[in-house]
Structure 1
Amino acid sequence: MAARMHLSLHDARVRPDRADDLQALIDTLFARRHFDRAQAQQGAGQMWLKAELVQVQRARSSVYQTLSSRMDGPLLFPMGFLRIQDGRVDVISDAVPAVDPTALARVLSEFLQPGARITCTADDTTHRWRVAGVDDLHALRTADQS
């Protein structure tokens, strides 16, 4: 998997009842965004830090709970590169840490209102979805942006 990927959001409005949880995830994952680099110095502290990050994501996302165990799961650092402004969710960087795009989109669907479009591109492969509901994504073809 590539080290970085392109993430874009269109018509992405935050669900008002989920804005606080999304903001908490953004803050935590942004603050820990260098975790993968620090993991090179693998030790017991790193193992517990990963477990802590998994627990933070599990506490804020029921969709993430289906993707993880109590101690292990994907670390969705691209969420740390989001910004909520005037009810809209935007990506603040051209490139974000690469993760499983489907896992990222599934978790984002919990926080974005239906109609939002999510695009992830890495290694010349693009995945596009429209959010229909929580953990309900409709794949879009490359030319299908509506």
Structure 2
Amino acid sequence: MSADAVERIETLLAGCGAPFERAGDQAWTVRLGADAALQATVVCLNADAGSAGLLKVYLPVGKLPENAGVDFLKELLRKNRTLGHGGFAVAGRDTVAFVDTLQLKHCDQGELDATLAWVVKSVNVFKEKLDESKLPYLDPY
């Protein structure tokens, strides 16, 4: 990744006011939320010379219930309509995550700020709207 891309990303992250640290050649950890307890990951993909580069923002928000059926997964995808940025995705076998993708070349401070605000909100959306105890359509098997 180019030094210019690193500088641009770190300038954007610093502008958000949230604590962050480098987590690898192309990754950063950002602490979010009122008590900075949420640990989001920002990864830059394809940021070589001549490439626009993509910023992927990722935060696990909860566990997929063991007995979640098709209806639960449909509801999870429907909740994406309520998010202003990003969306829910199933990661691995049992993790629900908030994921957003921004094009580094066109990303401004407002866009990254909005995405990180939705990272925090997505945890509440998942817990309030997709709480296992509130879902009548989990498979009983």
**Same fold by TM-score greater than 0.5:** no
* TM-score, normalised with respect to structure 2: 0.29
Considering Cα pairs closer than 8 Å and 6+ residues apart, tell me whether 1 or 2 has the greater RCO.
1
* TM-score, normalised with respect to structure 1: 0.29
Structure with more of its chain in strand, by fraction: 2
